[in-house]
Amino acid sequence: MTSKVILEELRLSFKREAEFTSLEKALHSLIAVFDLGHPNFDGFLFRDSSPNTLTLTTEGKFGPDEKQKIRVPYNVLDFPLNSSAHLLFHEFFHIQQRETKTLSISRPQREFEAYLEGLTSPRRPKINLPKSLRTQFIEALHKYYNQMDEQLKMKYKSQMELVESAV
Ligand SMILES: [Zn+2]
């Protein structure tokens, strides 16, 4: 079996689990399989299904003891599993950021770091990052890099160049 077939089987097994137990339980199985998690993670919230866009967000206050939830669309399991896994990794990185960082760190910097992590970290899900999602991540990296002030741009310049040379 190709990895694509295995991933599709796995996605269908999560869908079955959601049907027989709950979507929340199935998503907990999903993050366990891809080794995602954080002590401050406190479960999922849901938003209306959207046929074409998979939008995930992290919700919670900033601080070491603040609990965080990840909001996903009800039809999250209809999207390719490698997209869901990599987008969940992005949100779990935000949970990690919220544990240690305050709101004084700008949104462009937080997003830049999260997209950089999503493109380069050895802790990323051990499955292929879909090409379209990779393109989206690189575009976001540029967008948030350009929104940072000069001092921050200097700080991340070499990492930015590394990503660009790998494209
Ligand atoms: Zn983000």
- In the reported structure, the alpha carbon of residue 108 is separated from the centroid of ligand 1 by a whole-number distance in angstroms of 9
- In the reported structure, the alpha carbon of residue 111 is separated from the centroid of ligand 1 by a whole-number distance in angstroms of 5
pTM, two decimals, is 0.94
Q: Please give the pLDDT value at position 55.
A: 96
Q: Please give the pLDDT value at position 101.
A: 65
Name the β-bridge partners of 68: 41
- In the reported structure, the alpha carbon of residue 89 is separated from the centroid of ligand 1 by a whole-number distance in angstroms of 10
Run of H or E residues at 73: strand 68-73
Domain ranges for the chain: 3-166
CB atoms inside a 10 Å sphere around CB 138: 16
Q: Which residues contact 29 (CB under 8 A, 6 or more apart)?
A: 14, 17
Q: Please give the pLDDT value at position 4.
A: 86
Tokens for 80?
């390719």
Instruction: Give the pLDDT confidence of 72-90 residue by residue, as tens digits.
Output: 999 999 999 999 999 999 9
Contact at 8 Å (CB) between 26 and 77?
yes
Q: Please give the pLDDT value at position 105.
A: 82
DSSP 95-121: HHHHHH--TTS-HHHHHHHHHHHHHH-
Residues of the chain with pLDDT under 50: none
